[in-house]
Amino acid sequence: MTTAPATQLFCYGAWLFNIDKAQTLLKKHPRDAEPTSVADWSAHYHLHQLTPDYDGAPWCPVFGPDHSAFNAEHALQTDLDKPVIIATMEFDGRPSILLIDGVHRMYRAMIEGRATLPAHILTAAETAAIRER
């Protein structure tokens, strides 16, 4: 008997985003990737703390991803040509963005000194459709 692969989810505080649904949505509604700043996202997620010799907690020590498994060795094997996924939410009528898929790729790009990575940016409506809570 085979088991179904686990659904890929991203948790940020109380919010939970279904990455598998986001990838399906992007296949149904393709768009060009846009460059997004590695320095900005690395600073937001405190990726500079996760040096290759990192010997701290096995999770990414940032506000947001709730003890997400972070593996520097895995990060250095990721495909930097695969676009990261950025969600858009609205607060007080203004858009706000959140990286929901690609933290490992962002880490590798930071280590390698890349300025940008390609990104697919979801609309607020698309983000609402893939948000579990």
According to CATH, the topology of domain 9-130 is 3.90.1530
Low-confidence winner among 28-32, 57-61, 104-108 (lowest mean pLDDT)? 57-61
Looking only at the bridges linking them, the beta strands covering 84-91 and 116-121 are parallel
- Tell me the per-residue pLDDT of 81-97, one tens digit each, with 9 for 90 and over: 999 999 999 999 999 99
pTM value is 0.87
Q: Which helix (H) or strand (E) holds 117?
A: strand 116-121
Is 11 within 8 Å of 128 (Cβ atoms)?
A: no
Question: Which of 52, 38, 47 lies closest to 114 in space, CA to CA?
Answer: 38
DSSP 15-35: EEEEHHHHHHHHHHS----EE
